[in-house]
Amino acid sequence: MPAKIICGKEIAQEIRAELRPEVEKLKARGVTPGLAVVLVGGDPASQVYVRMKGRACEETGMLSETVRLPETTSEDELLATVDRLNGDPKIHGMIVQLPVPSHIDANKVLRRIDPRKDVDGFHLENVGKVAIGDDSGFAPATPAGVQQMLLRSGVETSGAHAVIVGRSNIVGRPMASLLLQKGNGGDATVTVCHSRTKNIGDVTRSADILIVAIGRAQFVTGDMVRPGAVVIDVGVNRVDDPSTDKGYKLVGDVDFDAASEVASAITPVPGGVGPMTVAMLLYNTVQAAQRWAAT
């Protein structure tokens, strides 16, 4: 029986609908949640993503500011922009879109962001809080979105064996921390696979919940999925496809057609995790505004 489709687009719309009354409550107190996105250079994928964030903010009634800087922007100039936004009371959440040009130290920039405005959850303070289960820290939007997808789709994480393919600081590591936490959406037994994992198929086949974020097109094949497992595909890869008008198509890190014949539930690409990332970024920004309003 083909797998149930976990539609991230629908769940993201649900979350954004829940945020609107919270935004209105803040506005009634004179606070409009504001998100600033800093984009350095002209990376096409980043530009699309930034436009999506801005549109989502406006649809939710939030303030959106996009700061576009040229590829030649120096590290000091970017840090000065971050400092300005740190001090702007209208901005409650801020992200610097990655990647930044190679002459800029991304870690230095991320650590310059005020952790109270770090809605991407990449500042060391927030990373540490998420790792120890302190909910005052901002969880990175993509792992937080995956957790919400599991919760809102009725997937039981407590006692489940969750296997994460990929150990990045953006997805794999924080995803493990969230699934290990006590309470709803947590209490899982977690295994993290990476490029040095031996016999990776044996590990992935042991998963009740398989989360794949390795950045390799269709890396996980159908025979790497345990029958009945829930598969969350975080990857977005562009592959050539002469049959399409654009000459390419987007695929995930999982062979969707093969895996969907084995899994009990699976996310599509596109329309799966991507919209959730934007929704959780808005969620974090509203949380930041609520904390600011309470001070």
pLDDT digits (tens, 9 = 90+) for 210-241: 999 999 999 999 999 999 999 999 999 889 88
Q: What angle do CA 208, 119, 112 make, to 5 degrees?
A: 125
Give percent of the chain above pLDDT 70: 100
Q: Which of 27, 43, 47, 53 is catalytic?
A: 53
Angle at which helices 124-132 and 172-180 pack, to 10 degrees?
40
pTM for the predicted model, two decimal places:
0.94
Per-residue pLDDT of 236-272, as tens digits, reads: 988 988 888 888 888 999 999 999 999 999 999 999 9
Q: How far is Cα 103 from Cα 243, in angstroms, rounded to an integer?
A: 38
Q: How far is Cα 229 from Cα 267, in angstroms, rounded to an integer?
A: 12
Q: Which of 120, 208, 233, 255 is catalytic?
A: 120
Q: How far is Cα 159 from Cα 264, in angstroms, rounded to an integer?
A: 18
Same domain membership, residue 208 and residue 243: yes
Average per-residue pLDDT for the chain = 95
Q: Which of 27, 76, 83, 97 is catalytic?
A: 97
Q: Which domain holds residue 95?
A: 30-114
Q: What is the pLDDT of residue 65?
A: 95
Per-residue pLDDT of 166-199, as tens digits, reads: 999 999 999 999 999 999 999 999 999 999 999 9
User: How many domains, in total, are found in the chain?
Assistant: 2
What is the mean predicted confidence (pLDDT) over 30-40? 96
Domain with residue 74: its CATH number is 3.40.50.10860
45 pLDDT exceeds 80? no
| 47 part of the active site | no
Domain with residue 155: its CATH number is 3.40.50.720
Same domain membership, residue 198 and residue 77: no
| 120 part of the active site | yes
Same domain membership, residue 193 and residue 93: no
Q: 169 lies in a domain?
A: yes
Q: How far is Cα 43 from Cα 98, in angstroms, rounded to an integer?
A: 9
Q: What is the pLDDT of residue 295?
A: 84
1 pLDDT exceeds 70? no
Q: 168 lies in a domain?
A: yes
Hey, CA dihedral for 237, 240, 242, 246, is it positive or negative?
Answer: positive
Q: 203 lies in a domain?
A: yes
| 181 part of the active site | no
